[in-house]
Structure 1
Amino acid sequence: MKRLLMATLTPFCLVPLAQAEVTRVGFATEPYPPFATTDASGELHGWEVDITRAVCEAAALECELVTTSWDGLIPALTGDKIDFIAASLSITDKRRETIAFSDKYYQTPAALAGAKGVELEPTSEGLAGKTLGVQSASIHQAYAQAHFPEATLREYQTQDEANQDLFAGRLDTTLADRLIIEQFLESKEGQLCCEMTGDVAHDPQTLGDGIGFGVRQDDDALRERLNEGIAEVRANGTYDEITARYFDFDIYGEPDT
């Protein structure tokens, strides 16, 4: 098993020494652009990284960013290796059995992509007998298992691997966050092979109620501070300023969702 904490970055939020207590923030090792990627020096970049930094500053938290494998994030949290998760973690009832969540800080739909010219309806009947690629241990895997039972599922450690198999013709379709699908379709490979099939019907039981920071169930104090930080960056314009660097729409989603 890989060593849990793969990289440690320099703290970015300074607070008075009397209050200094490092809050360890867990990101996934696997790249998830434009939300979070690690460069050659081990430094994290992306929209979610910038938002997390802003929330930490607003909440007066001295945050240290660490990375571990996607499927190791929740065990790292419950095992006190990190203090909260910032890795596009969907707020679902299933995950609430193990951890708690902050308020949401973004929400986007799930969508399918497939080969150009091949009609695929994003329904159970439309995907019957098709080979569908999903990221392992993701909400999209849970959605596919619940809604596309007659499809043949192939699991991948990263969405990039699923996209490459779609490009190579080893998959009929893949299910992921719409923004991730769009980014793939804008790539050289994606433009050659594939197109958007469409958004799937939203199911809060599997897709959740947006993306939130994952915290331990007994850590109400940190959860409340993160909620205050999210509210502050939303109110003072920082959220919109950061979002404008990456997207041309409001990634937060509907206020009442």
Structure 2
Amino acid sequence: MQNYKKILLAAAVTMAFSATAMAETLKMGIEAAYPPFNNKDASGNVVGFDKDIGDALCTKMKVEKCEVYVSDWDGIIPALNAKKFDFLVSSLSITDERKQAVDFTDPYYSNKLQFIAPKATTDFKTDKAYLKGKVIGSQRATLAGTWLDDRNVEDDYGVDIKLYDTQENAYLDLTSGRVDAILADKYVQYEWLKSDAGKAYEFKGEPVVESDKIGIAVRKGDPLRERLNKALAEIKADGTYKKINDKYFPFSIE
């Protein structure tokens, strides 16, 4: 009888653990102002490549509910560390500086940094002599913004750098003539150049950064990182990742 009670107790603990696991809710942090990777549709719902990847990872991890939390870009890492959400999937470049604050998963896509400027600017160059005195826009706290700052300080490019809270505000100043060019992620620019507002603009020169690895961030030491890595490998292996990629791009960004 005693052994039978032990078996029943073990079964009850297992069932309780399973029920807890099935009832797990994870909170996904996203900027929601960086199309096509993350933005809001006409109904105010968060959509985009990042959101689809996050949802696919939650499905693989058998998470019952995956909630989306929107955060301003400038405060998105502090919000993660303040436990406002559990993981951050918002096109975040993996950098040594950010690694001091958060842990990253394996990269879930690769990016490049490239300038865009008016098509009419046929003499545009990315060298120091040309950029000196030009007004170049970029989003604040991004790899592109850091690249501009580094060149301006280390190499004395003499660039007038304007940093913006969102990529969309940078585009507004470009179309109004307040900046000469923008440096940003190539695949975000690719999407904007297809829009009505972007028709008069084009990529200029070669990418200034060829391999910008993008990762999902979690709090330091959080075991969720390994679960996300496992799920990421699975969605790449079973074709889910490719379906999401093909929904947004006619080429692979992996």
Task: Classify the TM-score, shorter chain.
Answer: 0.7 to 0.9
Displacement of 1:165:
1.2
Partner deviation per Cα, 1:58-115 (whole Å, 9 max, x = no partner): 1223421111111111111111111110110110001001111001000121110112
For residues 92-171 of structure 1, what are the structure 2 equivalents within 5 Å?
92-118=95-121, 119-148=123-152, 149-171=157-179
Which residue of structure 2 aligns with residue 5 of structure 1?
Answer: none
Q: Does the aligned pair in 2 maintain the 1:123–1:200 contact within 8 Å?
A: no
Displacement of 1:199:
3.4
Q: Which runs of 5+ in 2 are unaligned?
A: 1-17
Aligned length: 231
Which residue of structure 2 aligns with residue 187 of structure 1?
Answer: 195
Residue 76 in 1 paired to residue 84 in 2?
no
Structure 1 residues 67 and 21: alpha-carbon distance in aligned structure 2, compared to 1, 3 A threshold? same
Which residue of structure 1 aligns with residue 66 of structure 2?
Answer: 63
Aligned amino acid, residue 45 of structure 2 = E
2:209 paired residue among 202, 205, 220: 202
2:181 paired residue among 167, 173, 178: 173
- 2:128 and 2:146 map into 1 onto residues whose CA distance is 14
Which residue of structure 1 aligns with residue 5 of structure 2?
Answer: none
After TM superposition, the score normalised by the length of structure 1 is 0.84
Aligned amino acid, residue 178 of structure 2 = R
Q: Does the aligned pair in 2 maintain the 1:131–1:171 contact within 8 Å?
A: yes
> 4+ residue runs of structure 1 moved beyond 4 angstroms?
none
- 1:251 and 1:22 map into 2 onto residues whose CA distance is 29
- 1:123 and 1:215 map into 2 onto residues whose CA distance is 37
Displacement of 1:125:
3.0
Displacement of 1:158:
1.1
Percent of pairs with identical residues: 37
Which residue of structure 2 aligns with residue 13 of structure 1?
Answer: none
Structure 1 residues 127 and 200: alpha-carbon distance in aligned structure 2, compared to 1, 3 A threshold? farther
Q: Which runs of 5+ in 1 are unaligned?
A: 1-15, 253-257
